[in-house]
Amino acid sequence: MLGSSRVATMKQVVQQLWLEAKLNRVKVSQAAADLKQFCLQNAQHDPLLTGVSSSTNPFRHQKVCSFL
């Protein structure tokens, strides 16, 4: 029983390795260049870089109106 479960486990490992070997790989330098290009193209739409206008910011501090 122990031997057959070990064989089944090893078959699963081999099958997973075959699947991973078939994946298309991208060089890190190419992935970094693509990521940099994407970031530069979309920088004007990034609120972390450009900020959010106070009129459209849902998290702005609400003004407190109090009567004395």
- Most distant CA pair in the chain, distance: 84
pLDDT cut 70: percent of the chain above it: 94
Instruction: Please provide the distance, in angstroms rounded to a whole number, between the alpha carbons at the two ends of the chain.
Output: 84
What does the domain layout of the chain look like in residue ranges? 2-44
In one letter, which amino acid is 21?
A
pLDDT: which is higher, 55 or 42: 42
The answer to whether the beta carbons of residues 44 and 50 sit under 8 Å apart is: yes
pLDDT tops 60 at residue 65? yes
1 falls in which pLDDT band (50, 70, 90)?
low
CA dist 29 and 39 (Å) reads 15
The rounded mean pLDDT for the chain is 87
Of 30, 31, 51, 33, residue with least CA distance to 41: 33
